[in-house]
Structure 1
């Protein structure tokens, strides 16, 4: 019976697709167990039902429908007949049809491809280097060992094809990984950081091993042809007999296939002409993906830190507008969101000066705006740049102020740094600069004091003064009058010595 291929896939999209798929999974499992037939009660007991199993009548109807589509084949079941009534009752054995087996194989490959996670195989690079070294050793033997050569080439090609296929799939998936997913931000950042480390490790392995692999390939170029011939001749022994009208022999086909594989392997690690090797292209694409991933992580960190995201704000605002119960409520939300409120503190001409601040724009008289303001955003036309002003007078005034301040500071330092012990109570009145210098000296000296009665002597941080502070009686008091108030505290004997005067 000829079956339409489109009928075989109907059970995937039919109304009871879940029931049909569970039944077909049960038959696929039975085929893996080398069981030829299944009865309806066996399907009911062995299928993996998500919920309660279906009724036997519904199951038999589904089996009949799958048989009609061509996924299953049925035949009368006469093994359990115990009476004439059982013989005349419709009882069937079911098995996968040829088309059903093909569909199950295709769906298994399809599901496996969807769940597949492509990888950058650093181990494959090591295996390729080892296999090439073994091939070089075999090429140096006086008598070729065809079995070992064929085995080595077969393993080499298998590892290389897996490496190339996974690398291509992985680089395609990198584009999806770079996109911003709307899920847990912390999980996305952690995943992308692991992905960056993964790429960095593979790039390092690729750089360190590509040179050695390329050297092996270049060294094998003079002797690779006889090695490929040995592999093709050994492989062609198992080829089926060809017909007379076939022009190309199996050995020739096998040699061409091996030559093409070797060319692909060589092109991955050794440049041909002006084109870079595919390994170099893979490395450049992997390296270019790292900055993109870092940019995504930075964007996610910015989003997580609470910075403004205009697109996210607009999406939230759109949800708010959708939740409005009426147009009036939506208008109130628009006025609040976009600040469409009266702003009469911006006085524009005499016609708006006497209006209250709560006057709506619709009720106010129109404001005449100059066309230049609307076009260029400014009223006054741009003219020539102003001339450079002479700032000599300001410079001289500023220099005079700096000179006066420096003189006052030097006078305050000369008054305090006399080199003679002076009681704080005898200072009298200090001007602004003198009092500032006095506080600075106390700030550098008192932190070194571990006890209130301890005598402290140390040099200032700039190395210009040496300060000795000796506490007097505990009940003594010193008062220093300043421009900002009265400074009061325990009396001390202060000795400030200029280091410059000592050196002189």
Structure 2
């Protein structure tokens, strides 16, 4: 942002003076009348018309035409109104003696009155969750990615405005809606029984948005990553060219200033879906906030239902059930009634070693050898004769675990040395791989994709970087335990010392 734009954004705003002035009711009434006439496409008003319109509002008692003239002059001084001379013929002596003027709203005043009108209807955060905006953003980015700079006149500007307005609308509406669920009013409402009526609709509404966010944000992120810096510059240059060619009466900024403004908008879009550096993206934070809101809604609904159940007396039902049991003479029938009444009891998982002496498939569980397992008492009373447990020696187990980890590291180091010898490999160039090497390869790809530089450094000082394939280019990775189809990634391996030597040689050559 250049110095002129910074100074303009930090200047004093005299147009807001009438909102808190001493005679605020008179100024607000005049400005509201001008705004209402502006919406009726009447732009220039005479003082007599303004006075008559304010008087018909019925909010000012004893208001005179002289006061109206003074208020109009003050609003012109604050740059809320612009004035021009009325060239028409005077019809009265008073009009002849006075200078005849007409008044109209300035652009700043129109936006201020529009804002005040909006604020009057604000009752909360508002907002909404619109999953269709993800489709609009994804389709527009796909079009930018395919066309780059092959646009018809005016097409690039229309595409950019639709893309960025959809993004701003998605960001602001979703932030406002999630914020409305965190207010004191929402917490109070979630504690009432009326909340159970629309709990399901609210939960489904949030779940549908979260599913759209999870499924479609990856498509948007992929398009943003495949649009290079050069492609973005060419597209934004076409947008700026269309904006300059659009006929305007007002002073237009230069093409460089427009491109700089569009670049900031693109960075906001990229940071919202992809993130910046190690910071998580705004879409991930929104996904987490939506999940927390759903969990909170379910928790509040469960707490209301539990509170309702606690207040009910089941004495009559239990008394009837007890008499029913008392009247049954057959034990099997009593068991069936208990099963219908109480259902299955909660299961308990007991840990033990399975020592089967037979491989018969038809062998009953009752014929198995029982496994003895001591169960500790849950009683709160202190047991005096409890058995002491001694500290077990885990040195042998730790040594075995250490040897296993060292063996895994040795295997991974051997694979890295083989890849370093090759320098760069593609998925379609790999031969048959073991299951362990396949997992290591997928782990490297995942670590590269988790960073903005698409690379990572191993403890041995090796740099592993990832290069994305062209769209729809896939490869088949054959392993001992199956076949895996994935994009034809290219992995590059280089030692950090070699990388430094290469950069130093390049700098030396450039200086020479």
- The interval holding the TM-score normalised by the smaller chain is 0.3 to 0.5
TM-score w.r.t. length of structure 1: 0.46
Larger radius of gyration: 1
**Bigger RCO (CA 8 Å, 6+ sep):** 2
